[in-house]
Chains A and B, each alone.
Chain A
Amino acid sequence: MKRTLAAVTALTLFAAPALAETTIETATGPVTISETPATTAVLDMASLDMLDALGIEGVTATSNTYLERLAPYAGDLGTLFEPDYEALNALSPDLIVAGGRSTEAVPQLEKLAPTVDMTMWGDDLLDQTRARLAAFGALYGKEAEAAALTESLDAEIAATQAAVEGKGNALILMTNGGKVSAYGAGGRFGWIHTEIGLPEVIEGLEDTSHGESVSFEFIRETNPDWILVLDRVAAIGGEGESAEATLDNPLVAETTAAQKGQIVYLNAGDIYVAGGGITSVLNTLEIIQTAFGASS
């Protein structure tokens, strides 16, 4: 026992100068990573979005990334919900980045390689975006790039706040084939209301992951000035009735949003699949800014 302890101590002492230990903040608390990962397996699209924005190399992702700009990272690591453990084992990455849809797999993943859970969720999503950016920046020695991205995020939020100010209220909808659900400030897309100061057309929409099921009558009655839409079927790569077709009906046509041409189609992949990823957030802010900026 003593000898082992001595050996460990000696080894630690000997190895210490060579290690670049970094402690980063994750969804499950601080995690210490002993060296900069050369190969990274990514199972969370928001994280992949950030690693892409930071220009990290040696990144392999799941078989479908759902976002065209992230398609080059697609590997054979399984799906967002179900990692392919054998492929991961064969790859033996220095680090596995899980989160969101793969969060339940983390205990299994930890047996294969060091794993971090980078889930982002809730109404303070953009704070988590900043925290994850800083964490990845520190981990991969890209602090300057992370800081620059955070700055552009702040600038873009300020610009979007200015663009939406005084332009009326909004309702965030997700279409799913012919069905529609609504999201509020406390929900997974709530940051659009809270961070950029866009008023909700109705309060009290609960924080459920797939929103509140609503009818077209609901949309007509709440009569939002703006409707922000994401098409879930398009986000997950299915083809079916598009969001435009779903909302093209006489009840929605009576809303202020429809009559003023203020129905804004968000990029569903960005906001639904890689929600909170830095490029995703910047793209979304850009779309909102352009749409609101154009109205008088």
Chain B
Amino acid sequence: MTRPAFVFPVLVTLILVSLVTGVASLGEDGWWLVFVSRLPRTLAALLAGAGLAVAGVIMQMLARNPFVEPATAGTGQAAGLGLVAVTLLAPGAAIWLKMSAATTAALIGTAGFVALVRRLPTGDPLLVPLTGIVYGGILGAATTFLAYERDLLQYIDIWMSGEFSGVMLGRYEILWIGGALTVLAYLYADRFTIAGFGEETTRSLGLGYGQVVALGLVIVSVITAVTVVTVGMIPFVGLVVPNLVARMRGENLRETLPYVAVSGGVLVLACDIIGRVIRYPFEVPVGTVLGVLGAALFLWILHRGPRRG
């Protein structure tokens, strides 16, 4: 039962590796460099990874399906749509306005997805992720259409492909909002676990199902929006990490959420380190590395059969 604990030493090792990996050499002003560049980047990767993994697990509870995540169920696409809309309506808008627009759009988009999923016939577990992919595709198409009309197509690439190359002190701090929400998710972990059993069970236990769902939607949407606005969309984290953790430790979120968060951070940080090293001194976006690694992990999960519990 203690097997997943190995992620903690891995985490410490990766943080150390991350702090010494970079283009600049750590000389006399090494500590300064670590403080200004390495530490922010390390924290950004950990916060984004932890947030997206937790957002993924909450979405899976709300949709009652292990194969959805923000990037494939319309949340990321809706956040992108909000960003494009605010760019068209108010170019040069302040970061908080962009973030609010992205969050609001993500909230509406995710609520739409959850509403859609609840009307689906139960029985076929693949129906939910397929619906998510189609739904995300439609939202993505709307974004593309808007951007296409105004020749902004390449402009939205900035947000849709996640990378940490621009991260340094003063340029990632919004991600702490995602970190705070991860903690909030932990405080409400029991309720999400119960919500994962469905509306009737939840109500029979005397919990307001609507409130739990609403809280979940807010957490998922804000985490996705802050990630998209600061570093861009990072695929697979929300899908792969919760599934791997559930395989080892089950689905009691009170117990597993710390592992989900830490493993998400570990996965993204590892991929960012790979991206920093693979074409040194140039960078490969973390989204690209995760696209390859995440796809491989996902295939492995599918191959290993359904998760326990």
Contact = CB atoms under 8 A, between A and B. Distances in A.
Interface in B181-231: none
A80 B166 contact: no
A178 B166 contact: yes
B138 to A, nearest CB: 21
Interface in B65-105: 87, 91-92
Interface stretch (B7-15, B21-29, B236-244, B247-255): B21-29
Given A215-B22, A238-B87, A221 B36 contact: no
A216 B165 CA distance: 8
A263 to B, nearest CB: 17
Max chain A C-beta neighbours (<10 A), residue from B22, B87, B166, B168: B166
A36 to B, nearest CB: 31
Interface stretch (B56-64, B150-158, B292-300): B150-158
A239 B154 CA distance: 13
Interface string B156-175: 00100001011011110000
B171 to A, nearest CB: 6
Interface in A245-269: 246, 249-251
B121 interface: no
Interface stretch (B110-118, B127-135, B259-267, B279-287): B279-287
Interface string B265-279: 000000000001001
Nearest to A240: B92
A179 B171 CA distance: 11
A289 interface: no
Interface string A149-168: 00000000000000000000
Given A236-B155, A240-B92, A220 B24 contact: yes
B273 to A, nearest CB: 13
Interface of A: 64, 79-82, 176-180, 182, 202, 212-218, 220-222, 233, 236-240, 246, 249-251
12 contacts: A179-B158, A212-B283, A213-B165, A214-B23, A214-B281, A214-B282, A215-B23, A218-B281, A218-B282, A220-B23, A238-B91, A249-B170
